[in-house]
Amino acid sequence: MSAQPWDVACEQALVGAVLLTGGACLDGLDDLEADEFYHPGSRATWTAIGRLRTRGEPADLVSVSAELRAMRQLDAVGGAAVRVRLARCEQVGEC
């Protein structure tokens, strides 16, 4: 079996790092587009992060969850609890 061209754990780690730092780790990631993520939850979350950044707002856990709610995507990505788990797994290194 050949390796897949995506890594969901890597996507989750990146999203978790953004949520944990309030977007402070986004420098140099301006070219990363939501459609480059494989997992639908990661795509929706990255879209929310991009919308917040465009408005000059922080991309922290609370803001991203609120933006996902405004986009009517929060339930589709598994709810706020999933975003908390992503931030926590980045913090402790266990997804």
d(CA 89, CA 27): 21
pTM: 0.79
pLDDT exceeds 60 at position 94: no
Structure confidence at residue 92 (pLDDT): 46
- pLDDT tens readout for residues 51-92: 999 999 998 888 998 999 999 998 888 887 776 666 665 554
Q: What is the dihedral of CA 58, 64, 67, 71, to 10 degrees?
A: 140
Band (pLDDT 50/70/90 cuts) for residue 1 is: low
